[in-house]
Amino acid sequence: MFIGSLVSDGFAWEQLRPSQLTSGSQIRKAFRSVVSTPRSWTVRVRANGKEVSLGAIVGSEGWILTKASQLEGQVTCELATAERHEAEIIGVDGKLDLALIKINAKNLPTVKWQSTSDPKVGQWLVTPGLSMSPVSVGVLSVARRAIKPQPGVLGVRIDDAEGGALVKQVMRESGAEEAGLKPGDVIMNVAGENIENARALSNFVEKFLPGDRVRVKVLRENEEITAIVILTDPQMLIYDRLREMQKKMGGALSRRKSGFTEVLQHDAVLRPEDCGGVIVNLNGQAIGLNIARAGRTKSFAIPADHVIPMIEKLKLKKYAPYNPVKDAKAQTVSTDMSS
Amino acid sequence: MSVSRLKNLEAAENSLFKRIVSSVLVLGVLVSAAPLSAQKVKVQKPVSSDPASKLSQVFFKTVPDSLEDLKQIEKKVTSLTESSIHSTVSVRVGDAQGSGVIIDNKAGYILTAAHVIGLAQKNAIIILHDGRRLKGKTMGLNRGMDAGLVKLVENDEIEIDKLPQVKMGDISKLESGEWVIATGHPNGYQSGRAPVVRLGRIVSRKKHLIQTDCTLIGGDSGGPLFNMKGEVIGIHSRIGPATSWNFHIPVSAFQNNWEKLVSGDMWGAKPLGQNAVLGVNGIDAEQGCKVTGVTRGFPAEIAGLKENDLIIQLNDQKITGIEQLAGVVQQYKPGQTVQLKLIRDKKTMSFEVQLAARD
């Protein structure tokens, strides 16, 4: 580890420039011809004006698939042509975390899928955005496999109370904290289910996934208050220091990143808001839909053969119209909701 | 540069408190060196393969710039993934869990990281890429470099000499920009998931550390980094905050100390812990601290300090003697890199030293 005049003794080491990293701008530029068509099927999805995901145009009349758990409020789509449209949420599949949304447009270019065979491990997988260069590139890391569900939590420490569960502590950066729950609150009802005691609360909330929104009724100083809590991945709550380390070491992760029937794991470093659009091979064919940034080393895509059948099902409104708030038992996301 | 042992971050991802505690414990263990006798082990230094098959032109470019280039990379990478995955194993020693790579199926040698195995002569469980399990024994470890060796134990059910093995590569000509494949078991072994493949490039290359943008996490520790000939050139060791801060120890750390590792020797200081250490003995001198000895495997020796060097400055602080130097070192944390200015043969030189931890 010599420096300065001693370089000749060791070896001159050069540092690769950021643009020359695997996902750097210079290398992504080499992929421009790969995404020249796929980016025309891609939309930028915003919720209440904030970028939340990418989307894939799956029907020329304005049908768009995207990641469901990111959507809230007013949804808009921006096309590669820079046109902007308001979107309506048509249907949601909780198991795959997919939403079908609709914009008012005609003759849009649509996704060309490759669903007959999976890419080989080590093959390039490219995530187009709206720009000329892709947003990220990587390779297939693991052949397709199931990712078991990890139940969501409110983010509170609880104890038994009369007619509910007493909030003893609200975990930092949890959905409960965000929703304004406070120590001393008594949780009486979650998503339409009356809560008898602490254990009943834990058992019931386990049926939901991180990213799900649940309506929570609490008693605070003899007053009934309703809050909407976005469930949190318990991994991120155990220990403040570890959460901070994850943030520093891995970048932001998707809220919902488990419980998918089958995924293709790739190593492209994605922002959570760059999930929801297609991922293509070097031939520019869509082999799947990015669904989660799941860790420092991993991003997940749902394979095309799982995505395609969902399009028609969601169009037929076979699934309940999207209601982001799980406020009735019937809308509990269970792992056998689809298929 | 703040780096974290991969094991700590594994804890972050798994949030298993037990694992956190255990990783702290592993870092605090005091080691009594008890070299293993060479037993029936044939001490044979593994030979690097000759520079063989010709690589496509793209592998000599600063960046690929056409679809054809990308196809060439893909062709090469997909031709190497099978041998990379098949030679990668999961290594478990007590509570610690990491990865490793089979480099000799005659003697049953597996390269891994020192911080995965912790001590010599411990029982290890080795899980092959397909889930089959074997027993292993930990051999030598260079804790300063984070190099560790495991030997498979003969077994009636699995013929060790039929296991896939890979060669160690020649890293003398390794340059930044080279394409590399990383495999391992991020977050630990998961049944039904083969070793996980990542593609990246050499970001920088120092004598004792290779940096790549192959993203690593806890559980990957000890796993292999391959060049485009399918040879092991590095072993995953630690990470930093950015996703392009992934550090691997070069295989030269094994090649240069092969006999010691095989004999079960343990030496060197751990890179992370409570109190920083440089690893020099010295005396007060007129202008600074004169080095009377460097401790084997400790940061000063690794950085290239020698007896009779006169240390005159550490970062921006003047050095006036050995006690004062020790005090200055204590202002830093293990894992931090400091600049040492010294006089050797009447010439002023500068060294970068990454501080380690005192036991």
A225 CB within 8 Å of a chain B CB: no
Taken in order of first residue, the domains within chain B and their CATH numbers are 1-32+70-267 (2.40.10.120), 276-357 (2.30.42.10)
DSSP label of B46: P
Q: Residues A90, A174: one domain?
A: no
pLDDT at B348: 94
| Cβ <8 Å between A243 and B12 | yes
Q: How far apart are CA B221 and CA B181, in angstroms?
A: 15
Average pLDDT of chain B to the nearest whole number: 85
Q: Residues A194, A325: one domain?
A: no
Count of C-beta atoms within a 10 Å radius of residue B341: 18
Q: Residues A259, A137: one domain?
A: yes
Rounded mean pLDDT of B147-154? 96
Please write the tens of the pLDDT for every residue from B197-250: 999 999 999 888 999 999 999 899 999 999 999 999 999 998 887 889 999 999
Has residue A169 got a pLDDT over 60? yes
A16 CB within 8 Å of a chain B CB: yes
The nearest alpha carbon in chain B to A19 belongs to B63
- The DSSP line for A182-201 is -TT-EEEEETTEEP-SHHHH
* Proportion of chain B above pLDDT 70, given as a percent: 84
Has residue A62 got a pLDDT over 70? yes
Q: Residues A96, A177: one domain?
A: no
Q: Which residues of A touch B354 (CB under 8 A)?
A: 1
**CB nearest to B215's CB, from A14, A242, A267:** A267
Q: How far apart are CA B248 and CA B250, in angstroms?
A: 6
B8 CB within 8 Å of a chain A CB: yes
pLDDT at A234: 80
Please write the tens of the pLDDT for every residue from A182-193: 999 999 999 889
Has residue B105 got a pLDDT over 50? yes
Q: Residues A183, A122: one domain?
A: no
Closest CA to A2 of B280, B277, B344, B333: B344
Tell me if A221 is assigned to some domain: yes
Rounded mean pLDDT of A286-297? 93
| Cβ <8 Å between B20 and A10 | no
Please write the tens of the pLDDT for every residue from A311-333: 998 887 655 544 456 654 433 33
Strand B88-93 to B96-104 pairing: antiparallel
Tell me if A228 is assigned to some domain: yes
Q: Residues A270, A320: one domain?
A: yes
| Cβ <8 Å between A122 and B303 | no
Band of pLDDT at residue A165, cut at 50, 70 and 90: very high
Tell me if A14 is assigned to some domain: no
Please write the tens of the pLDDT for every residue from A40-61: 999 999 999 999 999 999 999 9
Q: Residue holding tokens 């290398």?
A: A27
| Cβ <8 Å between A141 and B201 | no
Which chain A residues in 71-130 lie under 8 Å from chain B, judged by CB atoms? 120-124
Rounded mean pLDDT of B148-171? 93
Structurally, chain A folds into a number of domains equal to 2
Q: Which residues of B touch A21 (CB under 8 A)?
A: 200-201, 203, 213, 244
A283 CB within 8 Å of a chain B CB: no
Tell me if A260 is assigned to some domain: yes
Write the Ramachandran bin of B264: left for phi over 0, alpha for psi from -120 to 50, otherwise beta.
Answer: left
Band of pLDDT at residue B102, cut at 50, 70 and 90: very high
Rounded to a whole number, what is the distance in Å from the CA of B34 to chain A's nearest CA? Answer: 31
Least confident residue range of B28-32, B92-96, B145-149:
B28-32
Rounded to a whole number, what is the distance in Å from the CA of A314 to chain B's nearest CA? Answer: 31
Has residue B70 got a pLDDT over 60? yes
| Cβ <8 Å between A30 and B64 | yes
pLDDT at A319: 55
Tell me if A238 is assigned to some domain: no
Q: Which residues of A touch B240 (CB under 8 A)?
A: 249
Rounded mean pLDDT of B182-188? 94
pLDDT at B101: 98
Has residue B49 got a pLDDT over 70? no
Band of pLDDT at residue B23, cut at 50, 70 and 90: very low
Band of pLDDT at residue B135, cut at 50, 70 and 90: very high
Least confident residue range of B116-125, B141-150, B291-300:
B291-300
DSSP label of B99: E
Q: Which residues of A touch B188 (CB under 8 A)?
A: none
Tell me if A18 is assigned to some domain: no
Tell me if A302 is assigned to some domain: yes
Q: Which residues of A touch B206 (CB under 8 A)?
A: 1, 13
**CB A174, CB A153: distance < 8 Å:** yes
Q: Residues A220, A258: one domain?
A: no
pLDDT at B241: 79
pTM > 0.95: no
Band of pLDDT at residue A150, cut at 50, 70 and 90: confident
pLDDT at A17: 92
Tell me if A44 is assigned to some domain: yes
Q: Residues A51, A112: one domain?
A: yes
| Cβ <8 Å between B350 and A3 | yes
**CB nearest to A122's CB, from B15, B197, B220:** B197
Q: What is the CATH number of the domain that holds A223?
A: 2.30.42.10
Q: Residues A59, A143: one domain?
A: yes
**CB nearest to A2's CB, from B193, B240, B351:** B351
| Residue A109: φ, ψ to 5° | -70, 140
Has residue B19 got a pLDDT over 70? no
Q: What is the CATH number of the domain that holds A98?
A: 2.40.10.120
Least confident residue range of A319-323, B71-75, B90-94:
A319-323
Rounded to a whole number, what is the distance in Å from the CA of B246 to chain A's nearest CA? Answer: 10
Q: Residues A217, A101: one domain?
A: no
**Full domain range(s) for residue A180:** 156-232
Closest CA to A266 of B197, B82, B244: B197
pLDDT at B237: 94
Q: Residues A85, A201: one domain?
A: no
Please write the tens of the pLDDT for every residue from B253-278: 999 999 999 999 998 877 667 788 89
Q: Residues A72, A180: one domain?
A: no
